[in-house]
A and B are shown apart, each in its own frame.
Chain A
Amino acid sequence: GAGVSQSPSNKVTEKGKDVELRCDPISGHTALYWYRQRLGQGLEFLIYFQGNSAPDKSGLPSDRFSAERTGESVSTLTIQRTQQEDSAVYLCASSLGRGPPLDTQYFGPGTRLTVL
């Protein structure tokens, strides 16, 4: 089937506004991950879902960041009161969720967020 999809592909917003980023994982993948990648930097773990539960939220930078997943499918990452330092590419990945060892993660194309 189709791979991981993310929307929007690009988002430009003004400082202080809220944004929602969407991720559609591969059908049947129970694990879903969100990462942040600043320009020229590595992959920063944000949050992980197994099914609809989020056992590990340790990577969320602040309480302005939240995420949810419904129907063991679509996930939404919400950033409230955006700041300029939130500008980055937000990547979503999904996997079969077995392990250890962890299954291969399949990444979406990302959402490029620019906060003016």
Chain B
Amino acid sequence: QQPVQSPQAVILREGEDAVINCSSSKALYSVHWYRQKHGEAPVFLMILLKGGEQKGHEKISASFNEKKQQSSLYLTASQLSYSGTYFCGTEYNTDKLIFGTGTRLQVFP
């Protein structure tokens, strides 16, 4: 039931782009994306709803493919501040999120 994230880790130079995927074997109601910087609490980025549109947050956007039960997070023109671990949280018509294994992103100058 835990969603699978890929890749597990990404290393970027400033200004480069990255895509993080979150896949589920069960039908999703929504997908929530969080970022956790080292030693800090996770912080909400955005939510994607079933049947909803692609969401955006500054240069970070995401999409939700209902057919594939997959969400993708797009980071464009990455900045040093984007470094951290990205988690997707999946909602399956229950009252809780099941979080993925995480994708560690490192951005270097």
Contacts and interface: CB of A to CB of B under 8 A. Distances in A.
Interface stretch (B11-19, B54-62, B95-103): B95-103
A101 B29 contact: yes
Contacts of B49: 101
Interface in B70-108: 87, 89, 91, 93-102
Interface residues of B: mostly helix, strand, loop or mixed? Answer: loop
A109 B41 contact: yes
A100 B30 contact: yes
Given A100-B29, A106-B44, A107-B42, A45 B95 contact: no
Contact of B47 (A43, A45, A56, A101): A101
B36 to A, nearest CB: 9
B40 interface: yes
B47 A104 contact: yes
A91 interface: yes
A48 interface: yes
Given A42-B101, A50-B95, A101-B47, A108 B29 contact: no
Contacts of A25: none
B29 A91 contact: no
Interface in B13-42: 29-30, 32, 40-42
Interface of A: 4, 31, 33, 35, 41-45, 48, 50, 55-56, 91, 99-102, 104-110
25 contacts: A33-B96, A41-B101, A42-B99, A42-B101, A42-B102, A43-B42, A43-B87, A43-B89, A43-B99, A45-B97, A45-B99, A56-B95, A91-B41, A100-B30, A100-B91, A101-B29, A101-B91, A102-B97, A104-B44, A104-B47, A105-B32, A105-B89, A105-B97, A106-B44, A107-B42
Interface of B: 2, 29-30, 32, 40-44, 47, 49, 87, 89, 91, 93-102
Given A42-B99, A105-B44, 6 more contacts: A31-B95, A43-B99, A45-B97, A56-B96, A101-B91, A105-B32
